[in-house]
């Protein structure tokens, strides 16, 4: 009897913006795997039932994105270390009969910097702009790579303090007024806010204040070159856009579901860059990491 087609998915609400089907579809074709990866719109009130029915519906696992990451965190039987630290799940798979949840955003963040700014982790201190869900993944990755001085800047200080308390030693919380002083000896500047995103143009911090060896990374990928990255590049600093984080976070999930660890290549990047070309305003959701 022929082996059943392996099935995976990405679920969110809405979900039509997701580039994950293009990413995983490319890898399925590249490796000649009899498999599928589909986008499924699941309303929040239906997510628990959707999760409970994964095995019966033949899924090997999948991705979850906004607004289901916290619900997935609560709904799985087991979680990996990254998910526990970050407090959210974006990848699901079955292992030994149990539904596992993981978080691959930190992996995607670090792998992207490894590709475009080798040696970045030795550059600290790091200034992280924003204290939302994405910043948790960034802070976890920074700590895992040994960055010992991580400075969180957020408009609402209480949210930055919450992350400082969550992640412990080496983390400090600051209001935006402190940004200029914090940048003067920082070797890493990471923007996790929506400022600079298409339709929300602006400069979240001034890279002119950074030392010459600094690396500037914006996790936004629409546009690929945000005002922050343009200003940093004009200054001669190393810059890293957010698309590689999206591509690299997809790698571990594909390996879980289809048994092959794919590579993020220039060809794949070009496919997604072409898909990012302006179509309609609702076609973009640059904050989604799946």
- Rounded to whole angstroms, the Cα distance separating 287 from 290 reads 9
Residue of 132, 139, 126 lying closest to 154 (CA atoms): 132
Instruction: Please give the DSSP secondary-structure letter assigned to residue 97.
Output: T
User: Annotated catalytic sites, by residue?
Assistant: 69
Scan for tokens 């997604």, then name that residue. Answer: 272
Which residues, including other chains, have CB under 8 Å from residue 59's CB and lie 6 or more apart? 7, 8, 9
- For residue 23, count CB atoms less than 10 angstroms from its CB and return exposed for 0-12, middle for 13-18, buried for 19 or more: buried
Strand order in the sheet with 98-102: 35-41, 6-12, 59-64, 91-95, 98-102, 78-79
Residue of 17, 61, 54 lying closest to 35 (CA atoms): 61
Please name the helix (run of DSSP H) or strand (run of DSSP E) that holds residue 64, with its range, or none.
Answer: strand 59-64
Which residues, including other chains, have CB under 8 Å from residue 83's CB and lie 6 or more apart? 73, 89, 101, 102, 103
Residue of 244, 242, 253 lying closest to 286 (CA atoms): 242
Residue of 188, 189, 148 lying closest to 168 (CA atoms): 148
């Amino acid at each position: 009897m022929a082996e059943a087609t392996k099935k995976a998915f990405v679920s969110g609400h809405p979900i039509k913006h997701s580039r994950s089907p293009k990413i995983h579809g490319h890898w399925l074709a590249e490796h000649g795997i009899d498999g599928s990866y589909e986008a499924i719109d699941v309303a929040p009130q239906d997510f628990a039932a959707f999760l409970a029915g994964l095995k019966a519906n033949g899924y090997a696992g999948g991705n979850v994105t906004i607004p289901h990451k916290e619900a997935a965190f609560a709904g799985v039987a087991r979680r990996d270390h990254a998910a526990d630290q970050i407090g959210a799940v974006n990848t699901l798979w079955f292992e030994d009969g149990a539904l596992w949840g993981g978080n691959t955003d930190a992996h995607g963040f670090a792998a992207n910097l490894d590709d475009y700014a080798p040696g970045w982790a030795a550059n600290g201190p790091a200034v992280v702009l924003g204290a939302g869900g994405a910043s948790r993944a960034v802070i976890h990755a920074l700590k895992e790579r040994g960055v010992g001085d991580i400075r969180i800047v957020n408009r609402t200080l209480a949210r930055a303090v919450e992350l400082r308390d969550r992640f412990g030693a080496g983390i400090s919380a600051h209001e935006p007024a402190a940004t200029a002083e914090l940048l003067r000896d920082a070797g890493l500047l990471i923007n996790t806010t929506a400022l600079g995103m298409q339709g929300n143009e602006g400069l979240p911090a001034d890279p002119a204040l950074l030392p010459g060896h600094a690396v500037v990374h914006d996790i936004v990928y629409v546009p690929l070159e945000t005002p922050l990255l343009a200003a940093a590049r004009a200054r001669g600093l190393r810059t890293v856009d957010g698309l590689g984080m999206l591509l690299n976070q997809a790698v571990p999930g594909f390996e879980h579901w289809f048994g092959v660890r794919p590579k993020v290549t220039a060809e794949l990047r070009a496919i997604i860059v072409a898909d990012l070309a302006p179509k309609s305003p609702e076609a973009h959701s640059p904050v989604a990491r799946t």
